[in-house]
Amino acid sequence: MPEKGQRTAVVTGGSRGIGRAICLALAMPDTHIYFNYFNPGDPEGEAEAAAETEKMVAQSKATASSQSVNVASEEEVNGFFDTIISETGRIDILVNNAGITRDSLLVRMKTKAWDDVIDVNLKGTFLCSRAAAKIMMKQREGRIINIASVVGVIGNPGQSNYVASKAAIIGLTKATAKELAPRGVTVNAVAPGFIETDMTAVLPQNVKDAFLAQVPLGRAGKPADVAASVAFLASESASYLTGQVIHVSGGMYI
Ligand code: NAP
């Protein structure tokens, strides 16, 4: 439970990978971080990973609490934000990070693989942004940071569902940035390139090599590289920045 007057940050998909690094980058002593996760196939594993993130945040003298919330479910998202508001009365930062891949070539892609990716990545970002924006508009301040992807700009074969979701997140970022700017709320995106997490660990070596061959800096990124840009966008230094996409991709998109 947060203490009164603490800065409140919400991070979706904070149990692992880039989301965990974002929780750590936002973990300053005056901050309470709410994060969620959702893996019904491995309830013990997800709870363990979330507890580890909470422990790591506590080492930075911030506080964190987490729960299993499917960002694709309107009911679960609204319940999550209702709890946050009843406990804190405010939301300073929202990071829409939760995301999945269900890769397949277009002609072989099952409709379920399309729907699952659009529901989690795009609809999830919409549902959380809508819930947080209502509060941020009343506060007349707030930061929304969406995690897109470099492939949402340059495309990638075998990922039409994922690429479409990430391109749409960039459009959503720009539209909501214009809509919320008069109320003091900024909306920006961070577009990672090839980052070492569970999401990329499962890729076959030839696919990894093909990605890395496109990176001018010649190496994969770390979750902390992405988190540093998120922390900047959430900071006072970024108060005059909105509707922008920061590419953290070792130069994959120049
Ligand atoms: P990851 O290691 O697979 O972690 C995904 C996180 O999202 C986990 O915390 C997971 O929870 C959570 N999650 C998945 N489905 C969810 C749902 N329906 N509701 C709530 N939470 C859910 O992925 P990552 O590599 O850190 O990726 C994080 C973000 O960066 C994603 O949006 C991804 O598209 C984007 N990105 C990644 C890369 C890359 O190279 N890794 C590149 C560009 C963009 P559980 O732990 O419970 O499964």
pLDDT in tens, 38-57: 988 888 888 999 999 999 99
The span from the CA of 237 to the CA of 216, in Å, is: 28
- Average per-residue pLDDT in the chain? 96
Residue type, 16: R
What pLDDT is stored for residue 157 in this prediction? 95
DSSP characters over 34-90: EEEE--TT-HHHHHHHHHHHHHHHHHTT-EEEEEE--TT-HHHHHHHHHHHHHHHS-
The number of residues in the chain equals: 254
Cβ–Cβ < 8 Å for 93, 6:
no
Q: Phi and psi (nearest 5°) for 94?
A: -125, 130
| pLDDT of 4 | 73
In terms of Cα–Cα distance, which of 225, 227, 238 is closest to 92? Answer: 238
Ligand 1 atom 34: residue of nearest CA: 99
Query: Of the residues 34, 37, 162, 240, which is catalytic?
Result: 162
Q: What ranges in the chain are assigned the alpha helix state H?
A: 17-25, 43-59, 74-88, 111-117, 124-139, 151-154, 160-180, 198-201, 205-212, 223-234
Give, as one character, the DSSP assignment of residue 118: I
Average pLDDT for residues 149-159, to the nearest whole number? 97
Show the ligand 1 pocket: residues with CB < 6 angstroms. Answer: 12-13, 15-19, 36-39, 46, 49, 69-72, 97-100, 120, 147, 149, 192, 194-195, 197-200
Position 20 confidence tier, pLDDT thresholds 50, 70, 90: very high
Instruction: Report the C-alpha gap between 126 and 131 in whole angstroms.
Output: 9
- 17 Cα to the center of ligand 1, angstroms: 7
Is 162 annotated as catalytic? yes
Residue 78 Cα to ligand 1 middle (Å): 20
Q: Is the per-residue pLDDT at 92 higher than 80?
A: yes
Do β-strands 185-192 and 63-68 pair in parallel, antiparallel, or remain unpaired?
unpaired
Q: What pTM was computed for the model? A: 0.98
Residues 6+ apart with CB under 8 A from 31: 6, 7, 8, 9, 62, 63
Q: How far is residue 118 CA from its own chain's centroid?
A: 14
Q: What percentage of residues in the chain have a pLDDT greater than 70?
A: 100
Rounded to whole angstroms, the Cα distance separating 36 from 42 reads 15
Q: Is the distance from CB of 215 to CB of 251 less than 8 angstroms?
A: yes
Question: Would the pLDDT of 154 be above 80?
Answer: yes
Q: What is the pLDDT of residue 1?
A: 73
Whether 192 shows a pLDDT value over 90: the answer reads: yes
